Structure 1
Amino acid sequence: MSESTQAWVAAGVRAVIGAHTQAQDAGRTDDVVALYTPDGVLELPGADPVQGHDALREAFKGWAPTQPQLHMVTNTTVDSAGPDEATAASDVAFFQRGEAGWAPLVVGHYVDTFRQVDGAWLIQRRVTTYQT
């Protein structure tokens, strides 16, 4: 794969990760769900996998923010398996703002699998782990 193709894949994947984070923190459930393939899967520690747009929509609706929140996603590495497939690994810290100001609540790690569908990069699987 050429360097320009690798750069294009990495830029597309990072854009989806950023769009997901901003939509989730703003409570834009439909925008989050649109970033997953129709059979997309979200795995969280201690919970059954959430699969498909309908299940993802219900899950993200239930997690809609009730106070200001911020996911800080960083240290993302992208590996492409071809022009239509990629994986990414990222660190994440989750903050909420309360009466005392911003406080970190969770630190974790994402491993994402992406597919390009009709020219758009979409998340096929997100596996989340928490650091203790």
Structure 2
Amino acid sequence: MSDSTAAWVAAGVRSVIGAHTQAQDAGRTDDVVALYTPDAVLELPGMDPIEGHDALREAFKSWAPTQPQLHLVTNTVVTPGAEGEATATSDVAFLQRGESGWAVHLVGHYEDTLRRHEGGWRLHRRSTTFQ
């Protein structure tokens, strides 16, 4: 794989991760779900896997913010894989603004697998761990 192709993959993957974060924090459920493949799986600690667009839509709808929030995603390392697939590892901190200001509520880690789907990168699997 050429350096320019690897850079193109990394930029596309980071764009999806950033769009996901901004849409989730703004409560735009349909925009979040559109960033997943139809057969995607979301794994969260202490929960059964959430599979497919309908289940993802219900989950993200139930998690819509009721107060200002931010997922700060950083240290993303993208690894191109087989044709049309890539993985990304990121650190995340979840903050919410309450009466006393902003506070960190969770710190964790994302392990993402993305695939090319309908002309763009889409999340196929996200596994989240909390620290």
TM value normalised by structure 1? 0.98
TM value normalised by structure 2? 0.99
- Residue of structure 1 equivalent to 2:92: 92
CA drift at 1:83: 4.1
Deviations along 1:52-87, whole A, 9 cap, x unmatched? 000000000000000000000000000001341000
1:82 alignment partner, SS class: coil
- Residue of structure 2 equivalent to 1:22: 22
Quick one: which amino acid aligns to residue 50 of structure 1? I
Contact preservation (8 Å) 1:13, 1:78: yes
- Residue of structure 2 equivalent to 1:125: 125
Deviations along 1:32-51, whole A, 9 cap, x unmatched? 00000000110000000000
| Percent identical | 75
CA drift at 1:118: 2.2
Cα 1:83/1:3, change in 2 over 3 Å:
farther
Gaps of 5+ in 2: none
Contact preservation (8 Å) 1:9, 1:83: no
- Residue of structure 2 equivalent to 1:44: 44
Q: How do residues 104-123 of structure 1 correspond to structure 2 at under 5 angstroms?
A: 104-123=104-123
Contact preservation (8 Å) 1:114, 1:123: yes
Moved over 6 A (4+): none
